[in-house]
């Protein structure tokens, strides 16, 4: 027998023996579990196919010579033959596709048990119990819960004191800073701070009604500082002319139109946690792992510390 075939047969037998020893003799063994049986069948098929393919192509390299019509293209003198697709490769590819369809529909259907599915179900049950237990808490207890959630989920970026850790995330001790206001005015936003798709236009859509012209760079600088300073100082006239139609003359926003620029609210924070937010610093992800009550609590906590 050719040494190549002999080596392949010995390797295949050894791999099958090792597979049996690692699974068949372990605690629980095969146990009649279809998942275990499919895994073993897959391992056996993988070993046999791998050995077969290696032997086939090594043997071809030993004895075969390339023939056929060369393609016109070549790379550094290396060309390709216009040979048809190998029948064996095509058959194996087709069989693999058939096996895949069988596996997902009959062998191990997508609606069968999975650890991820069990985790999601357990999480849903836990969240329902959590919501029922804490649905009525308000006031200081809600703020205390929000602080706990903040320290567990938010302090990594925003810091223990919610000061943003040197600009790596927003400073939540104040509603907004001048650089962030300027960024939003220049680029617009669609952060769903109201919980719905209500985009703010960029600077090309903002007019100062006092002058009838598009808002200028100088006006953006002044009004950004005005908003960041708690709606005080220079810039009130620019704000009234360009921003008050949506945000109100006092900057406290209008329901279903524009958010409050003066202070945080539990609803605003909840919407940021639900939808995420893209700003001057970068992108804040949405927090799907928090349930509605936890988001409300974080909102209450942020609103409380930013007063």
**Known binding-site residue numbers for heme c:** 154, 157-158, 198, 243, 246-247, 284
Q: What is the DSSP letter of 203?
A: G
Burial class for 130, CB neighbours closer than 10 Å (0-12, 13-18, 19+)? middle
Residues 280 and 187: their CA atoms lie apart, in Å, by: 10
- Give the H or E element holding residue 213: strand 213-214
User: How many residues does this entry show for the chain?
Assistant: 307
Tell me which long-range contacts 40-46 makes (C-beta under 8 A, separation of at least 24): 43/19, 44/16, 44/19
What is the rounded (10 degree) CA torsion for 191, 192, 197, 200?
-50
Task: Cite the annotated binding site by residue number.
Answer: 154, 157-158, 198, 243, 246-247, 284
Which of 213, 191, 188 shows the shortest CA–CA distance to 201? 188
Q: Token digits for 108? A: 């191990």
- DSSP states along 143-177: HHHHHHHHHHHTHHHH-TTSS-TTTTS--TTSS--
Helix axes 34-63, 3-19, angle to 10 degrees: 170
Residues 36 and 28: their CA atoms lie apart, in Å, by: 10
């Amino acid at each position: 027998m050719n040494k190549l075939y002999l080596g392949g047969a010995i390797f295949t037998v050894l791999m099958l023996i090792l597979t049996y020893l690692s699974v068949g003799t372990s605690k629980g063994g095969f146990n009649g579990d279809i998942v275990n049986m499919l895994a073993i069948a897959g391992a056996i098929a993988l070993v046999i196919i791998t050995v077969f393919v290696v032997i086939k192509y090594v043997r071809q390299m030993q004895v075969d010579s390339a023939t056929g019509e060369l393609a016109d293209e070549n790379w550094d003198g290396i060309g390709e033959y216009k040979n048809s697709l190998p029948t064996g490769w095509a058959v194996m590819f087709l069989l693999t596709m058939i096996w895949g369809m069988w596996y997902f529909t009959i062998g191990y259907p997508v609606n069968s048990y999975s650890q991820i599915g069990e985790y999601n179900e357990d999480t849903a049950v836990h969240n329902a119990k959590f919501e029922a237990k804490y649905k009525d808490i308000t006031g200081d207890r809600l703020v205390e819960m929000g602080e706990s959630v903040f320290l567990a989920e938010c302090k990594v970026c925003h810091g223990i004191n919610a000061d943003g850790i040197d600009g790596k995330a927003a400073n939540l001790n104040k509603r907004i800073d001048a650089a962030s206001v300027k960024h939003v005015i220049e680029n617009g936003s669609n952060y769903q701070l109201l919980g719905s798709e209500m985009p703010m236009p960029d600077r090309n859509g903002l007019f100062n009604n006092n002058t009838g012209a598009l808002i200028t760079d100088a006006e953006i600088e002044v009004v950004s500082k005005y908003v960041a300073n708690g709606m005080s100082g220079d810039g009130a006239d620019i704000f009234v002319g360009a921003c008050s139609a949506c945000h109100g003359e006092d900057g406290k926003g209008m329901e279903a139109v524009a958010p409050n620029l003066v202070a945080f609210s539990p609803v605003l924070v909840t919407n940021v946690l639900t939808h995420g937010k893209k700003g001057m610093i970068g992108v804040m992800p949405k927090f799907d792992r928090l349930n509605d009550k936890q988001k409300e609590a974080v909102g209450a906590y942020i609103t409380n510390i930013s007063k």
